[in-house]
């Protein structure tokens, strides 16, 4: 069974995806890390994030081991990833990478922005996880504080809104709800409640063996 989870930044989809993968014993891929890795490759090489040819080349050469780089988790890398992820050539270069992962015999859990609409349109379960921009900014602000990053809340909210607009307005695989996706709004839900809502959907589709 493939479980596709989409949603905007800081909606809780990553946390939910990890818990579902552990619960159902499925491999998990945070596809956002792929775009962060491409952005970091460009920055390490001193290249412009808007250089689509260089970004596509970095995407084609991406090694799985690079996804473990701790620098990928920083707030600045999220903004950088949002820039390169809007480039059609980058998304095309990473599409096969993601589909190969999803094609594991056991199934898989993938989270991102276009999993249910583009990467795995035939996924057995599609979830769209969202929350208000203000709540997502509060969560991201707490997360950054926990890492020792002193970023004002207003800046975090502005970053969230910029990324929302870029994700929704891009020409290549814009963020949208798949027609057959179940929407889970986590604004007023804690992680446990969101997990229960998601497992109800997955179990209703027969679970990973179904």
- Domains of the chain, with CATH numbers? 2-203 (3.40.50.300)
pLDDT value of residue 172: 84
- Distance, in Å, from the CA atom of 69 to the CA atom of 48, rounded to the nearest integer, reads 20
What's the average model confidence in pLDDT over 3-13? Answer: 95
Take residue 126 and report the two structure tokens written for it: 């599609």
* Contact call for residues 110 and 29 (beta carbons, < 8 A): yes
15 annotated to bind ligand: yes
Cβ of 136: how many Cβ atoms within 10 Å?
A: 25
89 annotated to bind ligand: no
**pTM, to two decimals:** 0.90
- Distance, in Å, from the CA atom of 20 to the CA atom of 22, rounded to the nearest integer, reads 5
pLDDT value of residue 73: 84
7 annotated to bind ligand: yes
Distance spanning both ends of the chain, measured CA to CA:
7
65 annotated to bind ligand: no
121 annotated to bind ligand: no
Q: Picking from 6-15, 69-78, 116-125, which range would have the lowest pLDDT averaged per residue?
A: 69-78
What's the average model confidence in pLDDT over 95-113? Answer: 95
137 annotated to bind ligand: no
- pLDDT category of residue 4 using cuts at 50, 70 and 90: very high
11 annotated to bind ligand: yes
Distances, alpha carbon 151 to alpha carbons 138, 143, 145, in Å: 11, 10, 8
Question: What's CA 142's distance to the chain center, in Å?
Answer: 19
What's the average model confidence in pLDDT over 144-151? Answer: 88
Q: What percent of the chain has pLDDT over 90?
A: 81
- Mean pLDDT over all residues of the chain? 93
């Amino acid at each position: 069974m493939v479980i596709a989870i989409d949603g905007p930044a800081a909606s809780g989809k990553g946390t939910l995806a990890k818990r579902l993968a552990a619960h159902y014993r499925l491999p998990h891929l945070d596809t956002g890390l792929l775009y962060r890795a491409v952005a970091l490759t460009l920055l390490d090489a001193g290249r412009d994030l808007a250089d689509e040819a260089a970004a596509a080349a970095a995407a084609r050469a991406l090694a799985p081991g690079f996804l473990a780089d701790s620098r990928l988790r920083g707030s600045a890398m999220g903004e950088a990833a949002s820039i390169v992820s809007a480039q059609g050539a980058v998304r095309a270069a990473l599409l096969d990478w993601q589909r190969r992962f999803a094609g594991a015999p056991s199934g898989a859990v993938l989270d991102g922005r276009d999993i249910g609409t583009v990467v795995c349109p035939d996924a057995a379960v599609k979830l769209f996880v969202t929350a208000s921009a203000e709540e997502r900014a509060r969560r991201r602000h707490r997360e950054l504080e926990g890492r020792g990053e002193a970023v004002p809340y207003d800046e975090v909210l502005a970053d969230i809104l910029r990324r929302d607009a870029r994700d929704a307005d891009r020409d290549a695989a814009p963020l949208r709800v798949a027609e057959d996706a179940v929407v889970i709004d986590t604004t007023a839900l804690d992680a446990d409640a969101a997990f229960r809502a998601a497992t109800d959907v997955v179990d209703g589709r027969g679970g990973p063996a179904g």
